[in-house]
Structure 1
């Protein structure tokens, strides 16, 4: 029996706003604009940006600012956070930021929420984050929701702008906690299977089983993360994937080894070790190949993950390759070509 999830999944993009070797944050922002414009042309649902801190290769730390910049240079594509790490912030401040965005760009703004720090322990202290703040995540989500609906849970406090904008909320996660919370609150659930694949199937099954309808959402809605490298030939896609995987490993090594440089042969040797294999396993859900190969992988993945929508991290290191992957994937899966 064929599941309804296998037909034609909706596609979105997770833009990691990478600062690749030889580039600057400024060039990364221009690449994000180009990627969002391509997504708009090719029929993607939305583009999301993730909050990360103290990472030299990621430029999306001021997530709401980046969303506003890209929104001002696009026309119709939905834009949002994938996600805002809510324990890093006061819910009122996030309500005001995203209420401002929704007022400027009505009907185009999403607010995905996570409870991880998006950084390491030292950076958490630099951000003045309380180590126990993640424990308040469910209450913070409800407080934030109240500000955006105009039904504040804090007497005498309203979000301006924000109140009455009803910016849609999404719960992000890679564990059973997020799945259970999204189900209890009746919110869409986005699983970070593009880098943390382990509990995808268990978490989605729990979410669908325990989902309770809400004012925002009548039935469960699952977004699953997946990596894609689509190119004109299998060999070209595989070469890009090998470069991407090496870059991922270098990033993890750099966190502990500082500025040491590692040539490709040393990275490839490290990938044969248990530690290297563990890092590489983060890319378990990755479609690599020609448009037809990518389409077959994504439709099968959406079916197995019971996903209504796939949010794709086009992982090629060069922006031209990412833009080609965006176009080829949309043409193969959505039937949209420009």
Structure 2
């Protein structure tokens, strides 16, 4: 009898180990599956198949257009060589009026979202654990795009979406506390793997840049409306800055891993004679909430996953580029948008 029991115990242990191995493999497989897209997302292969929703503002003709690097070099306010000597390629160093413009844009965005759009400002850590990045969908699939601290389970954040969304991780939120609306200004760190040769000139694509990020966490029935609202909040910044832009609905081949539906805001850059992304506003539905166990109790006291949304409100560096290029004057100086003058200490021109 003892031999039989011992044999059964060994068999249970063996099958338990096999089951655990299968579970680990299954979890790894499931974590690599992207979100399901909404029915109204256009089907396509690349950004060329994205759908233009609307254009706002008309680009002003500029006779002798300079790009932001030429403008910065003219007044010794952008020093790419110094940045490269300090850190290598894809870094920036701003000085004087341009550095102040960058700071003014940040403060203006935060004030607008807090005072007029109802967001709670949050100051977050710039380093997070791997499980936090798994919750929002950056890990395990996109590890090569991240910067990890050597021999530590800590990563530099690629966006404030990561810490902000995870604030409700492993929590059950009361209905009365919804929606949750957070805004944060942080640096963002990305390796830009796979972008070799793209945007090598200028400040469009950097390893370190800054964003003002918007996050909403809502009841599932409200997430469609919340996406339109959040996108409108990001648009409002462009409207107040009087920068021409367009709104694009991303197609199935261009949408992000965690998103069910995404609107990109693209601002006009006269030197490139085209629109470039300055914000990406996404409804992730319950994709992230399930990964991080962010839940609420419904009217029947059953726990259900929340819906999460995020978007840049805006990317600060790209907003600065858009101001420098769209507000340039014939003599190479740059007029300051009216809404930013108070944040510039009354200065209305960079020269």
> Smaller-chain TM-score range?
under 0.3
TM-score (norm: length of structure 1): 0.26
Q: Name the structure where helix makes up a greater proportion of residues.
A: 1
TM-score (norm: length of structure 2): 0.25
Q: Which has the larger radius of gyration?
A: 2
Q: Name the structure where strand makes up a greater proportion of residues.
A: 2
**RCO (CA 8 Å, sep 6+): is it higher in 1 or 2?**
2
